[in-house]
Structure 1
Amino acid sequence: MSLLPILEYPDAALRRTAAPVAAERFADPAFQRLLDDMFQTMYEAPGIGLASTQVDVFERFMVIDVSETRDQPLVFVNPTIRERSADLRVHTEGCLSIPGVFADVTRADGIVVEAFDRHGARFELSVDGLLATCVQHELDHLDGKLFIDYLSPLKRDRALKKLEKLRKNRE
């Protein structure tokens, strides 16, 4: 396994929409290695979710593990949200592509997501709380949307100024 470079805002590639994964990809050893590399990259970052578009791959898949023990890896290939609860929840979100910036985002508290696992088996999952937030966040990446897009112009401007300041301090 190896670490993958994570695209950072304002890279224009983060705004690209990912294409569906073709059925033959599931049997491709390179695809399976890529999933493993994405998990390693996500864990090392550290993060709880990583969409393919964040590592410059424009196919619809993502990896997630919201467990504290980092032992419940989930793969979602060609994910679709089938239902969203009317109940909303505010989570403080961050993003590996916008490192060091966090903001409150309101999303559906519960969702039903349909996807394929890493081997091509279709599944449906009803989730809420942090996992629901994470799925929605990563699915947004596959559609070229970032969590800062949910912020008011003033809050987005503040978040981006903070990102710029953090980058200058890293140099």
Structure 2
Amino acid sequence: MSVREIRLFGDPILKTPSAEIRDLASASGLIQDLIDTTSLSGRAGVAATQIGVGLSAFAYNVEGEIGYLINPKITELSGDLVPMEEGCLSVPGLWHQAMRHTVARATGFQLDGSRIEISGEGLMAQALQHEIDHLSGILYLERLEKQERKLAFKALREQAWFTR
């Protein structure tokens, strides 16, 4: 398939909750595009909404582990809620301390209909939370503490790609 263009902050699809995928097998092209798009260097994950598709799926590439989830749900958040350095392909050039749990577990489906569970600590926990937030129409900027959010939006307005 292909590497898809990433939608940027301000695109309405990034604020729109995704729809459940009912026919899993029909999502094979989308899943391949997500994996191809995520496979580029420096990408821990890409949600379908980030490539302009309002369906509930994402791919991840964390520490060499590549995979995907269709219709994912967070089933457990544990460990401390701590500030983690976080960026987003849809908000390029910005990195801020987002509040995330240190451990996360999610379930979802594979193309063949099998249910899968993924859990992780650190970067994997962060990626699960970040990508599933995208599918709910939430950007990481909304997870910032108040003062950090003010700094982020000031920096956002100064980005060359940002349009009003």
**TM-score between both structures, scaled by the size of structure 2:** 0.88
With over 3 angstroms needed to count, the CA separation of the structure-2 counterparts of 1:41 and 1:152, relative to structure 1, is: same
Question: Gapped runs of 5+ residues in structure 1?
Answer: none
- Counting aligned pairs with the same residue, the percent is 32
Distance change in 2, residues 1:18/1:168 (3 Å): closer
CA deviations on 1:1-52 (whole Å, 9 max, x unpaired) are: 2221211001122100011110x2x222xx2222122222223364111001
Instruction: Please name the residue that 1:54 is paired with.
Output: 50
Q: Quick one: distance in 2 between partners of 1:82 and 1:131?
A: 14
Any conservation in 2 of the 1:75–1:118 contact (CA below 8 Å)? no
Rate the CA distance shift 1:96–1:45 in 2: closer, same or farther, 3 A: farther
Q: TM-score, normalised by structure 1?
A: 0.85
User: In structure 2, how many angstroms separate the alpha carbons of the residues matched to 1:47 and 1:165?
Assistant: 23
Match of residue 112 from structure 1:
105
Equivalent position of 1:66 in the other structure: 62
* Number of positions where the alignment pairs a residue of Structure 1 with one of Structure 2: 162
AA of the residue aligned to 2:32: D
Query: Gapped runs of 5+ residues in structure 2?
Result: none
What does the per-residue CA deviation read over 1:59-111, in whole Å, with 9 as the maximum and x for residues that have no partner? 111100111xx4x2111111111121142233101000000111011211112
Give the aligned partner of residue 151 of structure 1.
144
Q: Which residue of 1 aligns with 2:39?
A: 43
